[in-house]
Structure 1
Amino acid sequence: MQELIGAVGQLSPKERKALAVLLRQKGINLFSVAPIFKRHAEEPLLLSYAQERQWFLWQLDPQSSAYNIPMALRLQGELDVEALERSFSALVERHETLRTRFDDSGEQPLQVIEPAWPIQLELEQLSDGSDQAIRRLVEAEARRLFDLREGPLLRVKLVRLDEHDHVLVLTQHHSVSDGWSLQILVRELVALYQGLREGRPAQLPPLPVQYADYASWQRQWMESGERERQLGYWQQLLGGEQPLLELPLDHARPAEQRFAGARLAIELAPERARRLKALAQREGVTLFMLLLASFQALLHRLSGQDDIRVGVPVANRGRVEVEHLIGFFVNTQVMKADIEPGQSFKAFLAQVRQRVLQAQDHQDLPYEQLVEALRPQRTLSHNPLFQVMFNHQSEGQRSGAEQQLGALALRTLEWDNDTAQFDLALNTFESEAGLAASMVYATDLFERATIERFAAAWQCLLDAILADPEQPLAGLSLLDDAAREQIVGQWNATAVDYPLERSIQQLIEAQVDRTPEAEALVFGDTRLSYAQLDARANQLARHLI
């Protein structure tokens, strides 16, 4: 068998494609059963489907930093700067994506892999070592633009606070990396640094292929019939009109997204997290499925819509050859929920479970190809197939763990990113300690107070689910006792005695005389004072007469 696979690997792309056609006639997909082969020297380095979309977005707005991926590491203790630079140099040599840029001088854009070069860290002294000063520096670095044509698409800056305290700021462009890749980068950087400090080679897993090999294989695999198989499922599920999720906004949606955002941390009590995990186990679902169902139920209640579509990122590293590669692998799935009148949460959870399992069997279709096939109405004001994202991470997927490297302590710094790629995103983080969450929201659309209410409503909904998962979705409470008293009691105490001898028109005219410039009506961006309202009413009356 190995000899056969080796022989297939020696075929040219054209010969391999012809073999794939013959095998497909016998019901065998060559690219599903064979490993990812190294590319031939004469093959053009085509972009992956995900890279194509990033290239399109960058050309559309090269002044946007929305697709920068930043990370900051606090290094406290004795730091060997030379060993750190050599570690980065070894990483750049090991992973071609860290030295990749893009060229569009020909008929189609191509990846250009530059020769490895010795890394020299950008050094900066920061006299003010306060958390606020560090945060400002990291945020400014995260906003620096990349030129995808010129490269490099990796930046490394070392900020010196004092002799034994540094901050390492890493920024990559999404076209060559993703969240999983950041974890690989840090893990291998630590191994290389330790090896250099201890005078031994680092124990790193071999890389049988590089990202450009994967990009070539991905195209061949999709073109061998896999695209049609997976696309058929998604077209049946998502075809037709693409609804816009209409959450209650504080501001009118602008004609073009600016990607300005903010983050709200959500504290979840350990006891609530324990009970959620227990409920998921009883219902035969994962915690991811349970939290996704709760979020979709919340969106249904907030919007009043029954067709709820949420984007969910998946690692898309099902092939063992790419497990340790740095690159843009993450894919996005659209999880659709169909809410039925009177449906219980338990029944809805069963639907979500089924949809998640079906999506896993069709998870490789590039999101970019799904958008192209569904042909939604394109607009710069919002994302085409969904406007809200849900992202669940387990402890092993997070990069925030502290590490001790001899005399050097390393930990990931957390800060509030000021970008939002979607209207709203719920991020949940599962660990042995419990469950943490945050909401990232578009500040062009929402005020922070509104997101705080959304977060409180979600937590109340979780408690209602825990109390009785058999409840209808419409009956799940979104208010705690204090909020209910405020809305039903305090805010609803609006009874006023009006003089019976005067009509409503006369009362309004009296108010016009008292406060002509005071705000009388608000609708969207339109505001009318009492004087303007009176003038409009008189104008309408004349037309009617």
Structure 2
Amino acid sequence: MLMSTGQEALWLAHRLAPESSAYNVVLAVRLRDRVDTVVLQQALTALVGRHELLRSRFPSTDEGPVRLLAGPENVRLDVREVPNTGEEMLFRLAQRAGEEPFRISESGAFRAVLLRRDIADAVLVTATHHLVSDATSQWLLVRDLFAEYGARTEYGPPVTPAAITPWNEQVRAERDFIASPRGQRAAAYWQGVCAGLKAAVLPIDRPRPPQHTLGGATHEMELDRATAERLRQTAADRGVTPFTWLLGTFQSALHRSGAGDGFLIGCPATTRFTPGTREAVGYYVNALPVAGRFTPASTLLDAVESAQQQLRTGMAYARYPVERLDSGTCGPLFRISCTLVAADRLPVAGLYEGPVCLGGLRAELCDVPQQEGQLDLTVEVLQGAHGFRAVLRYNTDLFDAATIERFGVTWRRLLGASLGNPGTRVADVVLVAQDDLDFLLALGSGAA
């Protein structure tokens, strides 16, 4: 069985830090009705039989990593009884169930854990290693699992599985593309984007360890409804997407926070380009290098329009796995990434906003922290029906929480300035509140 370029990179990351949960992708769902665990196991077996990566394991050989398939019956639902557990402890147990390391060589990269507090109160935690899943996949597998459950409990119609491209065919298509003239043009394009630039780096609070570490934490920031509406309207008026507006101001915040005048960040993008991949669970992601270039005359609108143009053009070359590029530097291609998750278009509609019915069960999202510490900083912009939320996951071996919070304030100020006057020069945006500025100036003059 074959592995893609991205999977091989993630396999190596696991090999270097097998106890880390940084690459665990988790979706936990609180269930408020009685769960029939026998039926849930049947649904799980059907799910795993349909999506082959969920029953794959990844041992090492003399020639490198390989992928081996197990029977779907080998993936068992792990039922853990947790009676008399408080709300906070139940949340922590769900987080821990998602964080447990995978033994990808022996038992694969997927698990389902049911934490049962009461006969009609439980949390189902589905966790995968990133090498078999992505954000969309995690929601697809939950959707399919409960569809199978509902069909067996007469709360849903019989399941008609969509046609899915076998993973070996997906990998062969990637390899054929890399070797083709189109693949060579894509490689040349990405080499041009990256030429002369290094990975964006924010000033760190502690010396960087000799080896990459994966300790992490999360800081969240949410736009109020008025700002979210201004963002949508201003972006539409300028013919760009809200995400690229946020991306351009994010790059501006990196520039103003000490990342320099020219740098690269990564923007993970989907590679679900064919009908046979759109309903499949797998690692369908390639990172797009996005350059940030600033001069004293650069405006916030310049940054936004550059981000829009780069993403629009870059999607034409998104099939090419940039892990294959020779970055020309001694370090990684990216240390910071920014991506969009359109929560209002995910396969389980409404789960982000509130309770829904899944397979006849009342369900709501149990939003546990996850995927912390993969890079220096990874930013996930969640776009919902009513607004935007940014999840900033950072490496705690490099940054204090206050540093990331301060960066979030800088980003928010630059975003606000861009919505008020997009033509404002990035260098001219005041990053300190007027009261704080007056206080600092008074300190300098001795008048305080």
Aligned AA (1:387): R
Give the stretch that moved more between structures: 318-327 or 391-400.
391-400
1:93 equivalent to 2:49? Answer yes
1:189 equivalent to 2:145? Answer yes
**How far has the Cα of 1:418 moved from its partner?**
7.3
Distance 1:125 1:294 in 2: 47
Q: Is the contact between residue 262 and residue 294 of structure 2 (CA under 8 Å) also seen in structure 1?
A: yes
Closer/same/farther in 2, CA of residues 58 and 440 from structure 1, 3 Å limit: closer
Give the stretch that moved more between structures: 315-324 or 422-431.
422-431
**How far has the Cα of 1:152 moved from its partner?**
2.5
Q: Is the contact between residue 261 and residue 417 of structure 1 (CA under 8 Å) also seen in structure 2?
A: no
1:268-308 per-residue CA deviation (whole Å, 9 max, x = no partner) reads: 11101100111101111011110100000010111161113
**How far has the Cα of 1:101 moved from its partner?**
1.2
Aligned AA (1:229): R
Give the stretch that moved more between structures: 53-62 or 87-96.
53-62
Find the counterpart in structure 2 of residue 366 from structure 1.
Answer: 321
Give the match's secondary structure for 1:432: coil
Structure 2 counterparts to residues 235-384 of structure 1, below 5 A: 235-240=191-196, 242-303=197-258, 305-370=260-325, 373-378=326-331, 384=332
Structure 2 counterparts to residues 8-23 of structure 1, below 5 A: none
1:105 equivalent to 2:89? Answer no
Distance 2:38 2:444 in 1: 67
Aligned AA (2:194): L
Aligned AA (1:291): L
Q: Is the contact between residue 199 and residue 336 of structure 2 (CA under 8 Å) also seen in structure 1?
A: no
Find the counterpart in structure 2 of residue 114 from structure 1.
Answer: 70
Distance 1:316 1:299 in 2: 27
Find the counterpart in structure 1 of residue 338 from structure 2.
Answer: 390
In the alignment, which of 426, 431, 444 is matched to residue 379 of structure 2? 426
1:126 equivalent to 2:74? Answer no
**How far has the Cα of 1:358 moved from its partner?**
1.4
Distance 2:26 2:384 in 1: 23
Give the match's secondary structure for 1:117: helix
TM-score (norm 2): 0.92
Distance 1:405 1:374 in 2: 46
Find the counterpart in structure 2 of residue 464 from structure 1.
Answer: 417
Q: Is the contact between residue 211 and residue 326 of structure 1 (CA under 8 Å) also seen in structure 2?
A: no
Number of residue pairs matched by the alignment: 443
Distance 1:65 1:326 in 2: 20
Find the counterpart in structure 2 of residue 140 from structure 1.
Answer: 96
Distance 2:70 2:417 in 1: 56
Q: For structure 1, which runs of at least 5 residues remain unmatched after alignment?
A: 1-44, 379-383, 497-545
Distance 2:94 2:145 in 1: 20
**How far has the Cα of 1:55 moved from its partner?**
2.0
Distance 1:303 1:176 in 2: 36
In the alignment, which of 11, 19, 22 is matched to residue 63 of structure 1? 19
Higher relative contact order (CA 8 A, sep 6+): 2
Closer/same/farther in 2, CA of residues 254 and 350 from structure 1, 3 Å limit: same
1:79-101 per-residue CA deviation (whole Å, 9 max, x = no partner) reads: 22221111101001111111111
In the alignment, which of 359, 365, 368 is matched to residue 415 of structure 1? 368
In the alignment, which of 420, 434, 439 is matched to residue 481 of structure 1? 434
1:460-505 per-residue CA deviation (whole Å, 9 max, x = no partner) reads: 111111111111111122233344344434x546579xxxxxxxxx
Aligned AA (2:120): H
Q: Which entry has the higher C-alpha Rg, 1 or 2?
A: 1
Aligned AA (2:261): D
Give the stretch that moved more between structures: 335-344 or 320-329.
335-344
**How far has the Cα of 1:201 moved from its partner?**
5.7
Q: Is the contact between residue 285 and residue 353 of structure 1 (CA under 8 Å) also seen in structure 2?
A: yes
**How far has the Cα of 1:386 moved from its partner?**
1.8
CA RMSD of aligned residues (A): 2.2
1:96-150 per-residue CA deviation (whole Å, 9 max, x = no partner) reads: 1111112433534322112221653212111343232123212322332222221
Distance 2:168 2:389 in 1: 36
Aligned AA (2:159): Q
Q: Is the contact between residue 211 and residue 325 of structure 1 (CA under 8 Å) also seen in structure 2?
A: no
1:151 equivalent to 2:100? Answer no
Distance 2:114 2:134 in 1: 22
Find the counterpart in structure 2 of residue 528 from structure 1.
Answer: none
TM-score (norm 1): 0.77
Q: Is the contact between residue 245 and residue 303 of structure 1 (CA under 8 Å) also seen in structure 2?
A: no
